[in-house]
A and B are shown apart, each in its own frame.
Chain A
Amino acid sequence: MTALLLGALGLTLSLIVPGILANARWPDRAPVAAVVLWQAVTLTAVLAALGVVLAAPEEVTRAAGSGRPVVEAALIGALAVAALIIVRLLVSLIGVSRRSRARRARHRMLVDLLDRAEQHRELGPDNLRVLDGPLPLAYCVPGREPRVVLSHGVLQVLDREQVDAVLAHEQTHLRHRHEVVMESFTAFYRAVPRPLRSRLPLDAVHLLLEMIADDVARRRVGAAPLRAALERLSDAVPLTEDAAADPRGDARRRRLARLGESHTGSVALTVLVTVAAAGLLVLPTVILVVPWLDRALEAWPLS
């Protein structure tokens, strides 16, 4: 019974909940809590899968009244599969973070060499780099030696206030280590067998992190310059609307819409969602796993 319930929970969390969560609009009002909820959903799904792997063989052999050698073999098999799942996740995480680090290091080296230092002395931050070229482009390179990169085009289409808004947005990504959050979701995505993979969590969390950076930037410089910067930069990159990751320009519209409202954050919603996330992580363990563990340990065959 425990295995069945955990299995149902795991399937619900990995197949049904992501679709609902990705289409919901309330996360726009509590992006930080929404990221926490995505993390809880993903982690609980993994724990449920581990729970099924461990509980199912024990429950089946106990119900069938199997002899000691069968029970032992089932337990060892279950432990091996659980270990395999954990190792696969860890290998994926290490691989993603190693490849990202290497790519960032090379990227940082190149933007340092290409930097037009004379164009941004008065703009401030030491980690800012400006590239030649009229195509407006703004992004950050996270890591231990982070960089914020603007193209010369950005300085041409934005005024000083709007540039400050963009810088505040990018510095937030860097200061809050958003790349670590993205790396963990990417690692999970890659660890899931190909037919079961879904990009929903990856894309949803990416958008939420943008909203979090928007919120910090708006507190620092106001919503108007940030909104103007976002509009001008995405208009200037003419092909954004066709982008595969955001086919209808939805992400951009959602970010602009919340920058148009006077106050977007909701404390009550944030508290509610954070409590839900904690409950999701803790309750299945308390309700399902602990009673099963009690029964299973009584009959522990390897002692």
Chain B
Amino acid sequence: MLGHMALGDLEREVMTQLWDAGEPLTVRQVHERLSRQRDLAYTTVMTVLDRLAKKGVVTQQKADRAYRYAPAQTREEMTASVMLDALTSSDDQDAALAYFVGRLPPDALAAAIEAARKK
């Protein structure tokens, strides 16, 4: 059903479409945008959006008898929260991830991410 594309790549591309659109999209709209580059079944796009909604990274809203999908966070927000998670250390989290530069206290890191974003 997915042809040569892995599910992970497809999920990433669907997210990119939603982020770039800047407004909620229907399944048909996402399908149209992705179909410009390749052959893709409508039901596949539906399945992927459903999976992303279940993961909590996409929200589903009903408008004009059609479901529309929007990212739960902007790309910048999600990137910042991932970086914060990566660099935050606590007793519980020490074992979770390994870092190259060493550990930072969370508020110092939040400030650093914010400062870097404004540059």
A residues in contact (CB < 8 Å) with B: 96-97, 99-100, 103-104, 107, 109-115, 117, 131-142, 149, 151, 153, 166, 169-170, 173, 178-179, 182-183, 185-186, 189-190, 202, 206, 209, 229-230, 233-234, 237-240, 242-246, 251-252
A99→B104 contact, CB < 8 A: no
A166→B94 contact, CB < 8 A: no
Report Cα–Cα, A62/B2, bound state, in Å. Answer: 74
Q: How far is the CB of B107 from chain A (nearest CB, A)?
A: 10
Contacts A100-B95, A117-B9, A170-B100 aside, 20 further interface pairs with beta carbons under 8 A come to A100-B96, A103-B96, A104-B97, A110-B78, A113-B78, A114-B15, A114-B75, A132-B75, A133-B79, A134-B119, A137-B87, A138-B100, A153-B116, A189-B91, A190-B91, A190-B92, A206-B94, A237-B112, A240-B102, A240-B104
Q: How far is the CB of B101 from chain A (nearest CB, A)?
A: 5
Residues on A with beta carbons closer than 8 Å to the beta carbon of B15: 113-114
Candidates B12, B89, B91, B117; contact of A117 at CB < 8 Å: B12
**A113-B57, A153-B116, A237-B112 known; A139-B99 Cβ under 8 A:** yes
Residues 40 to 87 of chain B near chain A (Cβ within 8 Å): 55, 57, 75-76, 78-80, 82-83, 85-87
Instruction: Judge whether B93 is part of the interface by a CB distance below 8 angstroms.
Output: yes
Q: How far is the CB of B97 from chain A (nearest CB, A)?
A: 6
**A114-B78, A135-B83, A170-B100 known; A239-B109 Cβ under 8 A:** yes
Residues 1 to 42 of chain B near chain A (Cβ within 8 Å): 8-9, 11-12, 15
Residues on B with beta carbons closer than 8 Å to the beta carbon of A149: 86
Q: How far is the CB of A208 from chain B (nearest CB, A)?
A: 12
A186→B12 contact, CB < 8 A: no
Task: Closest A residue to B104 by CB, please name it.
Answer: A243
| Count, chain B residues at interface, CB 8 A | 42
Task: Closest A residue to B83 by CB, please name it.
Answer: A137
B94→A114 contact, CB < 8 A: no
Report Cα–Cα, A117/B9, bound state, in Å. Answer: 9
Residue pairs across A and B with Cβ atoms less than 8 A apart, 26 shown, are A107-B85, A110-B57, A112-B8, A112-B12, A113-B12, A114-B79, A115-B12, A117-B9, A133-B79, A135-B83, A136-B101, A137-B101, A138-B99, A139-B86, A140-B98, A179-B95, A189-B91, A206-B94, A209-B98, A230-B100, A233-B100, A234-B101, A234-B102, A239-B109, A240-B101, A242-B108
B92→A170 contact, CB < 8 A: no
A135→B116 contact, CB < 8 A: yes
B103→A243 contact, CB < 8 A: yes
Report Cα–Cα, A186/B39, bound state, in Å. Answer: 49
Residues on A with beta carbons closer than 8 Å to the beta carbon of B108: 239, 242-243
A243→B105 contact, CB < 8 A: yes
Q: How far is the CB of B95 from chain A (nearest CB, A)?
A: 4
Report Cα–Cα, A183/B95, bound state, in Å. Answer: 5
B101→A131 contact, CB < 8 A: no
> Max chain B CB contacts within 10 Å: which of A104, A133, A173?
A133
**A114-B78, A243-B108 known; A135-B113 Cβ under 8 A:** yes
